[in-house]
Structure 1
Amino acid sequence: MPGDSTRRRGAALEADILDAVWEELAEVGYARLTMEGVAARARTGKQVLYRRWANRAELVKAAMPHRTGFLADQLPDTGDLREDVLAVLRLMVERQREIGPDVIRGLLAEAHELDPKVFGIMHDILLTLLQRAVGRGEIPTADLPRRVVTVPAQLLRYEMILSRDPVADSALVGIVDDVYLPLLRGHG
């Protein structure tokens, strides 16, 4: 209503909407989450949501850092490539625990509806780790094909799809020790 001093706008409205996403997910799960349900819970119109997010996958993706923070802001720097990559994978698993496997699987199933830039985030994170490793002399180059850079994240996503439970740490160690580090040495 015009002149209504309680009308929410901008950051306050967005925070209420993103909180409503998590409340709705907790109550109905990803499969039954709707823009209408989130709008009703946030006490706003669904057109407000559609102005900001094209679909529920985009909405849930936006709500994730609102709840867990940005992965890029938690970038490890242990001084060792193996430990850095394991730390990133462990952060991804911790997010899976916090967010829930239902939501992760739902988002992965609707990945085609997400902005392709979303998938560049893990590339950038892993490339940063590789560039640091080059600086420390652990690997000869970070100039690698995009698929090679993102192998650990892609393998972990695959494990997340297949597992009802959070991925075991032994699987993360296997991804790094049995696949990623040998792959990087082969490209060196």
Structure 2
Amino acid sequence: MTGEQTRRRGAALEADILDAVWEELAEVGYARLTMEGVAARARTGKQVLYRRWPNRAELVKAAMSHRNGIIAERLPDTGELREDVLALLRLMVLRQREIGSDVIRGLLADAPDLDPKVFGIVHDILLPMLQRAVKRGEIPTADLSRRVVTLPAQLLRYEMILTREPVAESALVEIVDDVYLPLVTGRR
């Protein structure tokens, strides 16, 4: 190491690595993204990456949060269940646009490599929405199965898998109005 070079550590090194992930994704796409390629671009060793992230999917997930923030921190409380759920789905579609369908598809294909807690996030976002809706008298109960609670996000993920284009607003409205609200309100 020369006198001009300083050893990066902690947050500075992590930020450089996560920025390198985006540069690699832009250049080679998700399917050809490797830990070795990211390490080379970040000018570090791949063992540094593996100490923080066990695999490519976790690395890309961290880069998404670094670059685009966390969806749960951007959710409004609109005062109405329908609008709350639509707001969540719109943010998920915005995330799809920001990171690209290629990355979404790659992450979904690598889903078994992700920490299972990742899939609990949507439940942890939607359950409080449902609990607020119970307090407002919009729905009879929030005591629903995990599958029912997370259904709008699961249907949106399915739509994302089927198309290369961002999911249309009309599909979001259909998911909420024709499937989710009738299910959680008990009305058709």
TM bucket (normalised to shorter chain) is: over 0.9
Instruction: State which drifts further: 178-187 or 100-109.
Output: 178-187
Determine the C-alpha separation between the residues in 2 that align with 1:35 and 1:131: 41
For residues 22-47 of structure 1, the C-alpha deviation after alignment (integer angstroms, 9 at most, x for no partner) is 00000000000000000001010000
For residues 109-150 of structure 1, the C-alpha deviation after alignment (integer angstroms, 9 at most, x for no partner) is 010000000000001001111111112111121111000000
For 1:1-188, list aligned pairs within 5 A: 6-186=6-186
List runs of 5+ in structure 1 lacking aligned partners. Answer: none
Work out the percentage of aligned pairs sharing the same amino acid.
Answer: 84
Aligned-partner residue type, residue 150 of structure 2 = T
Determine the C-alpha separation between the residues in 2 that align with 1:62 and 1:143: 32
For residues 20-76 of structure 1, the C-alpha deviation after alignment (integer angstroms, 9 at most, x for no partner) is 000000000000000000000101000000001111001001111111110110122
Cα distance, 1:166 vs. partner?
0.3
Aligned alpha-carbon RMSD (Å): 1.6
2:138–2:185 contact (8 Å) kept in structure 1: no
SS in 2 for 1:132: helix
Aligned-partner residue type, residue 61 of structure 2 = K
Determine the C-alpha separation between the residues in 1 that align with 2:17 and 2:135: 43
- Between the two proteins, the alignment pairs up a number of residues equal to 187
Determine the C-alpha separation between the residues in 2 that align with 1:182 and 1:26: 41
Aligned-partner residue type, residue 47 of structure 2 = Q
List runs of 5+ in structure 2 lacking aligned partners. Answer: none
Aligned-partner residue type, residue 81 of structure 1 = L
Determine the C-alpha separation between the residues in 2 that align with 1:131 and 1:73: 18
Determine the C-alpha separation between the residues in 2 that align with 1:69 and 1:26: 19
Determine the C-alpha separation between the residues in 1 that align with 2:167 and 2:5: 48
2:57–2:111 contact (8 Å) kept in structure 1: yes
Cα distance, 1:186 vs. partner?
2.5
Determine the C-alpha separation between the residues in 1 that align with 2:55 and 2:13: 18
Q: Could you tell me the TM-score, scaled by structure 1's length?
A: 0.96
Q: Which runs of 4+ in 1 moved over 3 A?
A: none
